[in-house]
A and B are shown apart, each in its own frame.
Chain A
Amino acid sequence: MTAQKIGAIVFFVLLAEILNTMGQFLFKKTANSIQAPQLSHLKSYGPFFHKVLRSVWIWLGLGVMAVGLVVWLAALSEGELSFVYSIGSLQYILVLLTARFLLKEKVNRTRVIGTILVASGIFLITLS
């Protein structure tokens, strides 16, 4: 692989990650604004999904995710599988930042450590 190609793949993967995180952000934002259903009551799923599907943000999120998926596939078809996946573990850091600053979720030490452990575990698995 040439340096230029590696750079291009890294760029594609990162772009896919950012798009994917944006989609997740929009999903979560919508989920937060809707009353959560009771897991054990199938009937309460109806109104929940009804509201989900009527949300503009969800469709925007799906669009962003779809673009992200295409970019990701493009990267996959170009680069080594393990290489592409291992850079993929960076997404956990992006999600952590999004949750902390955009969703105002509680990000304490336990969660940061846990997320970093997961990300590094995935890095190891995909690299080998």
Chain B
Amino acid sequence: MSLLTNEEIKDGTQTQHPSKNGAGIRFETKIVRRIEEIPASDWESVYPKALEGYRFFRTIDDSNLNQFSFHYILIYQDGKPAGAASCFLMNYSLDTTVQGSFKTFTSFLRRIFPGILDSKTLMCGSPIGPGKMGVAGNTQGVFEAIYKAIEAIAEKEKVAIIAFKEFDSSYRGLFSSLAKQGFHRFDSFPNTDKEIHFENFEAYLKSLSYKTRYDLKRKFKKVDGHVPIDLEITHQLDGGILEEAYGLYRQVILKHPVAFEVLPKEFFANVSKHMPQETRFFLWRIRGKLVAFEFCLVSGDYFLDCYLGLDYSVAYQHHLYFVRFRDLINWCIKNGIRRYEMGCTNYDPKKRLGFQFIPLDIYAKHRNRWINSFLRVFCRFLEPKRFDPVLKELDRPKDRPRKSLSWGVFFMIILSDAVNGVAQVLMKKGLPAGMDLFSVGGLGNFLSRSASSELVWAGIILYASNFFLWMLILSRLDLVIAIALASTSYLILPILSIAFLHEKVSLVRWAGIALIMLGVYFVSRSSGENKI
């Protein structure tokens, strides 16, 4: 079965291609480069109801997001729209989500091998916010048709990586067939949202922890009555104000280490044109000078907090982040908003402000089979939660500590080994040797003579204290892992004798040491395997 040919996509015009799946249902696939080539009613009849829908994509199309090149896929089943998906091409840096010392490493890598971390990627979803997809009727069949269209685009554009970007867990069922296609699922940055059911801001504050509440009140006290901050809410930004607001947005982008998309100025003008009802710009001024701005979308009782702009020369001094947040919450309460959604990143204040985190998944595969199997391992190191202290903590709820190997546990094992080693030496020195143990009397004699030795007792006490350490270790690790890791005790003695006694170590012994280390590496590596 032939899929879309090259010319058809290149034109960017409508492409129609009837295809049949196993059940004999006819699907027609339409791929366009601008969403306006699809009738709005067709798209909206299948795509999930969301603020980031048809008109949002029109805004993006009009705004010259040069880093992305869009494709919109619409599937018709028996002439009726049954599936809708958006995807975009981009050069994705594999280290986008990476922070800290790992980032230093990857930028070093990039200097030596330019291009090694940047791959041409076809992403299904939206560059802005969580991904969505519309499927109706025979959902698995429709999804297959969408996937075939994605593969066809990937083939045509010589794409290296295909990914489904940031879909929430409700899509897991629909996407379950992706595993067979070689996709790996990874955790992305979670989305954040909050139910708003408060009578006033005071009631909201009461729902927060004591520490946060106290901290916020102290901040507001410093600002209120001292700094005149004026708030203006508009549906569009023109000329000079747009320029000013965009400057503040750039400040936030530059400050932030992980930026996936950088929107051009046109976007903020176009969004008022395409979504006049939904768009809200909140502008905060101090003595006429714009110091903060927020771009939000509103629909019914749903509030989507999209982009923030801050003037960092005064932001910290006047606690603008929190003053802004108080105004937004107040506005939400006044306008009957029930759900407040904020985007990804910057999790620490969001957690303190009582937002809940909604996990999002990324499904990705490299189209080269060999690189793909490597990608699976590699991507685990790139998962954002490894780099964000707040997300790391979330992963490990207070009442259920993470059951895997950490450096703390590993240190405890080494300590336990050392105590054990000392205890053994004491025992060996204190025990009577060369006695007949194979008779009742002999055994009794052996026991009574052992019991009279102080060294033996000291050894027993050490063994006993080691028991507590060992129970702590067992509360963290599987028995197989704990026992295997404890075998590092066999390494301590040879290593000490090599280091301090300059003893010659036989080849067999070296081989034994190497085998143990290799085994420990294998076992400890397996302790974190609790993914798909």
Contacts and interface: CB of A to CB of B under 8 A. Distances in A.
A and B: partners? yes
Interface of A: 8, 24-25, 27-28, 30-31, 34-40, 45, 48-49, 52, 58, 62, 69-70, 73-74, 76-78, 91-92, 95-96, 98-99, 103, 105-108, 110-111, 113-128
A35 B472 CA distance: 11
Given A24-B479, A121-B512, A49 B468 contact: yes
Contacts, number: 160
B516 A121 contact: yes
Contact of A39 (B401, B471, B526): B401
A38 B402 CA distance: 9
B438 interface: yes
A73 B506 contact: no
B474 A31 contact: yes
B511 A124 contact: yes
B437 A114 contact: no
B334 to A, nearest CB: 42
Contacts of B490: 121-122, 125-126
Nearest to B403: A36
A37 B309 CA distance: 43
B434 A77 contact: yes
B481 interface: yes
B483 A124 contact: no
Nearest to B434: A77
A95 B431 contact: no
A39 to B, nearest CB: 5
Please list the 10 inter-chain residue pairs (A to B) with the smallest Cβ-Cβ separation, ordered nearest first: A121-B515, A117-B519, A114-B522, A124-B512, A118-B519, A121-B516, A114-B523, A125-B512, A36-B475, A110-B526
B522 A111 contact: yes
A91 B471 CA distance: 19
Interface of B: 398-401, 403, 406, 408-409, 412, 427-428, 431-435, 437-438, 443, 446-447, 450, 463, 467-468, 470-472, 474-476, 478-481, 483-484, 487, 490, 494, 506, 508-509, 511-523, 525-526, 529
Contacts of A74: 437, 443, 446
Given A124-B508, A124-B509, A107 B480 contact: yes
Given A37-B475, A125-B490, A118 B401 contact: no
Given A77-B434, A114-B523, 10 more contacts: A27-B474, A31-B474, A36-B401, A37-B401, A98-B479, A106-B478, A114-B518, A118-B516, A121-B517, A122-B516
A107 B484 CA distance: 13
Contacts of B478: 99, 103, 105-106
Give the interface SS of chain A, mostly helix, strand, loop or mixed.
helix
Contact of B514 (A24, A105, A121): A121
A125 B522 contact: no
Contact of B472 (A45, A99, A116): A45
Contacts of A76: 428, 431
Contacts of B525: 110, 114
B480 A39 contact: no
Contact of A38 (B398, B431, B437, B506): B398
A5 to B, nearest CB: 9
8 contacts: A28-B479, A40-B408, A49-B468, A110-B525, A118-B520, A118-B523, A125-B490, A125-B516
A34 B475 contact: yes
Contact of B435 (A77, A121, A122): A77
Nearest to B527: A111
Contacts of B484: 92, 111, 114-115, 118
B522 A117 contact: yes
A73 B431 contact: yes
Nearest to B443: A74
Contact of A105 (B435, B438, B479, B521): B479
A116 B388 CA distance: 37
Contacts of B437: 74, 77-78
B522 A113 contact: yes
Nearest to A102: B479
B513 A38 contact: no
Contact of B523 (A30, A70, A115): A115
